[in-house]
Structure 1
Amino acid sequence: MTIDLQDDPDIAAILPRLRDLDATVRRIAVLDLADLDGDAHVPLLLAALDDAAPLVRAEAARALEAFEAPATVQALARRLSDPDEAVRAAAAQSLSELKQPASAAALVDYIGSSDSFVRAAALRGVRELRVAASFAPALGALDDLDASVRREAVAVLGYLKQPEALPALTRIAAHDPAAEVRRAAAGALGYADTPAVLPALLAALDDQAWQVREEAATTLGKLRLTEATGALIAALEDPYWQVRLRAARSLGRLRSREALAGLLATLTHTISNLRKEAALALGEIGSPAALDALHASADDPDPEVRKSVRLAIRQIGETA
């Protein structure tokens, strides 16, 4: 595309530096282009994606994140295979910022790339666009040999929220060899509207990786699966406080009075975040049996805990 320099004096001032022999000068010129309003300078940024210097290509890739024309998306997708790691990372980051569903068409084909980095980046790019065309490739990618690809595929399916993906996601949550993938799957199951996912989530709540247990505890609360109450009460004794916190939060959502003893014990824990979450959960449950313990915690040294205690006391008073 030809740019009329008379109509674009700002671009005209930058052009000589884009042709400078010094790559550092060219990189700064790309930065200056990125600060311009409008999109007349986009062809120059696309040209900079083919610069001989990796630092210039990377800067151009970063600058193009704000432009979602098909040509731009395709150019960035090609740079996912750039020989320089920084350029690949910059292109992947820009593609992950896509907001227009129409942009997905330029990326879906890359999910089938022979390069695992490209496959993962393409999935990450289409993730939040929620386009139907990404469903089949993402479902197939759940069996990818690369864990990062499987993790991104799980995320895509979680955003699409298709019931047809639930059997595969439950399998992944319980049995994938990579903890990061099991965790992602446990979180993705949060859109399920069937108790059929309960066994997989209970298995995840007993996972060897605490991050998976934490995610499973969160999802069980979101789904309000009362059948998980006993397992969540047991999770209040998890070795990791992060799991205990999510279990307490979910027990509050379930509003199960079976959890009172465990939550009252948590109300005196040394970690203030756990005390806060226990107070909030007790307020959600609404049992007057918790009032004495809550009043005893009214002068907790942590102001956030005191605030949560006051809220819980007020909630119980309103429901009594």
Structure 2
Amino acid sequence: MNDEIQLWLEMLRSPDVNDRLTAVKTLQHLGDEETIDALIIALKDENFVVQKIAISALWEIANPVAIPALIECLVSTFLEIRTEAASALNELITQNDLLLLLDKLESNNVNLQLNILVLLRKIHAIESFSAILPFLESKNHELREAAVTTLRYINQLEKCPQALNLVFDRETIVRRAAALTLGHLQDTDVITILCQALTNDSDWQVRRNAAISLAIHENYQAISALKIALDDEHWQVRKSAVQALQKIPDIQVMPRLIQALTDEYADVRKEAVIALGNLAHPDVINPLQQVLDDPDKEVAIQAQRAIQKMQTDRIVLREQ
């Protein structure tokens, strides 16, 4: 450590907070890797402003040697410090830090556990699955929500029976996260459970997320539930249900999709136009032509495209 940095390190030990602030700001301005040790010391300062500046400085230097010290900041009583440290770590951690993160996950500190669960999403490692699993049954609903969300980011994960029942969790935030995660799982009962959430949950965001997941699965078993969802009281649920039906075109829902062309929300009408175009049935041309004068320009454009595509496809078929 050179003499200049040593001087600022001594100031970091000053009882005067203004001296410490001056020192940490100067170290940040220097931005030199030789300042890392001094900045790590500043992370333990009693003043949270000093701590935050030190975190920002280490973030800018971006040397992975600071990762263990930054992880310790995740147990801070200051939300601002935890947030800043988590942001820095999200950019610094790599696959090489997996074992360190899993070790810290065994801590009893909820703030640390929550942040580690989020950081694991960047690594995507299937090796973290067994460590995440117990948190799906945590008494803390924030941990359950974080854990079931993290499952979506794990590579090669196809089944997780423990995650299925979280779609019926007593906490709304957990159900919302679980409904999205089930879109990435292949368990036997996934489609049935998502259909139940879509048609029965009291929260519209859970219902919307269930429809989004059903769109990912593209499973014809979901058609009946999606058909019911076309009458949902919330337009975003109706929109997501129509988007799912675009992926699984079936003639039986054609009448309901035609009705959706008169939905009060343009987003729903536009998606219905696309879904009808995907059906490519002669009976949808007339309803689509009536939408050409829709007050929303995008709806009209999509209707024109759908009609043109069907007409072009018909000409190609005749020529063949």
Q: TM-score range by the shorter chain?
A: 0.7 to 0.9
Contact 1:73 1:95 in 2 (8 A): yes
Which has the larger displacement, 82-91 or 237-246? 82-91
The equivalent position to 1:211 in structure 2, one of 179, 201, 205, is: 205
What letter corresponds to residue 115 of structure 2 in structure 1? A
Paired residue secondary structure (1:51): coil
Aligned match of 2:180: 187
Question: Against the structure 1 CA distance between its residues 128 and 285, is the aligned structure 2 distance closer, same or farther, given a 3 Å change threshold?
Answer: farther
Question: Does the 8 A contact of 1:266 with 1:274 survive in 2?
Answer: yes
Residue number in structure 2 paired with 1:81: 75
For these two proteins, the number of residue pairs brought into alignment is 313
Q: Structure 1 residues 247 and 22, CA, compared in 2 at 3 Å: closer, same or farther?
A: farther
Contact 2:211 2:241 in 1 (8 A): yes
Unmatched segments (≥5 aa) in structure 1: 6-10
TM-score normalized with structure 1 length:
0.85
Answer with 299-308 or 204-213: which moved more.
Answer: 299-308
Contact 1:256–1:285 (CA<8 Å) still a contact in 2?
Answer: yes
The structure with the largest alpha-carbon Rg is: 2
Cα distance in structure 1, aligned partners of 2:313 and 2:141? 48
C-alpha displacement at 1:310, in angstroms? 2.4
Q: Is the 8 A contact 1:30 1:45 kept in 2?
A: yes
* Deviations 1:238-284, CA, capped at 9 Å, x for gaps: 11111111001001111122221222111122211111111122222
Amino acid in the other structure paired with 1:51: D
Q: What is the CA–CA distance in structure 2 between the aligned matches of 1:256 and 1:24, rounded to whole Å?
A: 70
Residue 106 of structure 2 corresponds to which residue in structure 1? 112
Deviation at 1:60, TM superposition (A): 2.7
TM-score (norm 2): 0.85
- The list of structure 1 runs, each at least 4 consecutive aligned residues, that deviate by more than 6 angstroms after superposition, is 11-22, 35-38
Out of 152, 158, 178, which is 1:158 matched to?
152
Q: Which runs of 5+ in 2 are unaligned?
A: 315-320
Task: State the Cα RMSD in Å.
Answer: 2.9
Letter in 2 for 1:179: T
8 Å CA contact retained: 1:98, 1:125: no
| Residue of structure 1 in register with 2:170 after alignment | 177
Structure 1 partner of 2:193 = 200
8 Å Cα contact 1:225/1:254 also seen in 2: yes
* CA distance 1:224–1:72, change in 2 (3 Å): same
With over 3 angstroms needed to count, the CA separation of the structure-2 counterparts of 1:65 and 1:168, relative to structure 1, is farther
Matches within 5 A, 1:277-292: 277-292=271-286
